[in-house]
Amino acid sequence: MDRSWIDWRNQMIVVPRHDPCTKARGEAGPCGYCKRLAEQAADHNPELSYEAALARAWTPKTDSAARSIPFDFDPRTDLVIERFFERYEKFPHSKQAVNRRVNKAAEVTDELDEDSIYPHCLRATAATYHASRGLSALPLQSMLGWSDLSTSQKYVRRSGEATARALRTVHRQ
């Protein structure tokens, strides 16, 4: 993510369909993760060269992941994003570096099972939080970039919030 992804006027993070990876250590160019993905893509597609696959790096995991993510629902989120870009022009770490930092934080945190904390479970925590606050399945799907609506429906169902709202509505009449 870099500053160009932020639409300050509409308070949105706009995840593009393509953004050239420039996270190589000590040099310009794609990071090791994007290079490995390009190798795999070229290996599994005889019509695609490694260079052409590498030119496509970075792209979101799915088409649905290219999206606009609102952040005006909480003033703290706006402040965190603003402060981040006061310090950095772009997110300075690779996916692997983020994984290592989350793992390290989990290791040194009391009362947490370090094996159960990783970036993707933090994403699930965010989904659970928003579903429990009453966000319905379609906006949750859009926000998190899931291609399948059933994924967000699972979080909404588990939260019980839709049932609680319906019961409150019925019994207030």
Residue 53 CB-half CA count within 13 A: 18
Question: Is 130 inside any structural domain?
Answer: yes
Question: Is 131 inside any structural domain?
Answer: yes
3-state secondary structure at position 68 = strand
Question: Is 134 inside any structural domain?
Answer: yes
Q: Rounded distance, CA 60 to CA 71, Å?
A: 19
Question: Is 11 inside any structural domain?
Answer: no
Dump pLDDT digits (tens) for 123-153: 999 999 999 999 999 999 999 999 999 999 9
Question: Is 173 inside any structural domain?
Answer: yes
User: Which domain, by its residues, includes 160?
Assistant: 93-173
Question: Is 72 inside any structural domain?
Answer: no
Domains identified in the chain, total number: 1
Question: Is 135 inside any structural domain?
Answer: yes
Dump pLDDT digits (tens) for 35-70: 999 999 999 999 999 999 999 888 888 899 999 999
